[in-house]
Amino acid sequence: MTVIDEIKKLKAEKNAVILAHNYQPKEIQDLADCLGDSLELAREAKKTDADIIVLCGVMFMAETAKIINPTKKVLIPNPNAGCKLADYVNPAMIKAERKAYPDAEVVLYVNSTAESKAEADITCTSSNAVAVCKSLKSKRILFGPDSNLASWVAEQLPEKEIIPLPYGGCCPVHAEIKPQTAREAKAAGYTVICHPECPKAVRDECDVVASTGGMLKEAANADRWAVLTERDMTYRLKCKYPEKEFKGYESAFCENMKLITPELLRDSLRDETTEVVLPDALIKGAGRAIERMLNI
The Cα 194–Cα 271 span in angstroms is 38
234 binds ligand 13P (CB under 6 A): no
Judged by CB under 6 A, the chain residues 37 through 66 that form the site for ligand SF4 are 58
112 binds ligand 13P (CB under 6 A): no
**Binding region for ligand SF4 (CB under 6 A) out of 184-192, 235-243, 250-258, 285-293:** 250-258
Among 22, 64, 78, 111, binds ligand SF4 (CB under 6 A): 111
The Cα 131–Cα 127 span in angstroms is 9
Helix (H) or strand (E) holding 141: strand 140-144
Backbone phi and psi for residue 231, each to the nearest 5 degrees, phi listed first: -65, -30
Nearer to ligand SF4, 50 or 213 (CB): 213
Among 18, 74, 83, 293, binds ligand SF4 (CB under 6 A): 83
Q: Which among ligand SF4, ligand 13P, none contacts residue 38 (Cβ within 5 to 8 A by kind)?
A: ligand 13P
Instruction: Return the DSSP state at 148.
Output: H
Among 29, 211, 256, 274, binds ligand 13P (CB under 6 A): 211
171 binds ligand SF4 (CB under 6 A): yes
Nearer to ligand 13P, 195 or 266 (CB): 195
171 binds ligand 13P (CB under 6 A): yes
Helix (H) or strand (E) holding 77: none
Nearer to ligand SF4, 218 or 230 (CB): 230
126 binds ligand SF4 (CB under 6 A): no
Judged by CB under 6 A, the chain residues 230 through 249 that form the site for ligand SF4 are 230
Identity of the residue numbered 200: K
| Size of interface with ligand SF4, in residues (CB under 6 A) | 11
Judged by CB under 6 A, the chain residues 30 through 89 that form the site for ligand 13P are 37-38
- CA atoms within 13 Å, Cβ hemisphere of 140: 10
Q: Which residues contact 42 (CB under 8 A, 6 or more apart)?
A: 61, 64, 65, 68, 110, 125, 290, 294
Environment class of 88 (CB within 10 Å of its CB; exposed 0-12, middle 13-18, buried 19+): buried
**Binding region for ligand SF4 (CB under 6 A) out of 28-36, 97-105, 178-186, 252-260:** 252-260
Q: Which residues contact 188 (CB under 8 A, 6 or more apart)?
A: 226
216 binds ligand SF4 (CB under 6 A): no
Planar angle of CA 276, 258, 199, nearest 5 degrees: 100
Nearer to ligand 13P, 210 or 286 (CB): 210
Backbone phi and psi for residue 189, each to the nearest 5 degrees, phi listed first: 95, 5
Nearer to ligand SF4, 112 or 268 (CB): 112
The separation between the first and the last C-alpha atoms of the chain, rounded to the nearest angstrom, is 45
Nearest to 266 by CA among 56, 49, 45, 37: 56
257 binds ligand SF4 (CB under 6 A): yes
Q: Which residues bind ligand SF4 (CB under 6 A)?
A: 58, 83-85, 111, 171, 173, 230, 254, 256-257
Interface positions with ligand 13P (CB under 6 A): 22, 37-38, 111, 125-127, 171, 195, 197, 211-212
